[in-house]
Homo-oligomer: A and B are copies of this chain.
């Protein structure tokens, strides 16, 4: 078994309203960052997993995203996988 490290990025689909992102954009504007055009807020997960192969690890992480980490109705996800020690 090999260890893998996955970085998972979950964000709202582009067509979905993001009130949290709008609020952050407003706060940044108040702080003087007035050239910010948009902010979208999402989730970030760092996952350590043991798998027989990189392919197995990717399949597992894909499954986790679909079943738990992302809501497929309104969210999209992406991940990067690296082999570790």
Contacts and interface: CB of A to CB of B under 8 A. Distances in A.
A10 B43 CA distance: 9
Interface of A: 1, 3, 7, 9-11, 21, 24, 27-28, 31, 33, 35-51, 60, 63-64, 67-69
A3 B36 CA distance: 10
B50 A42 contact: no
A13 B45 CA distance: 13
A68 B11 contact: no
A44 B10 contact: yes
B44 A48 contact: no
A34 to B, nearest CB: 10
A9 B44 contact: yes
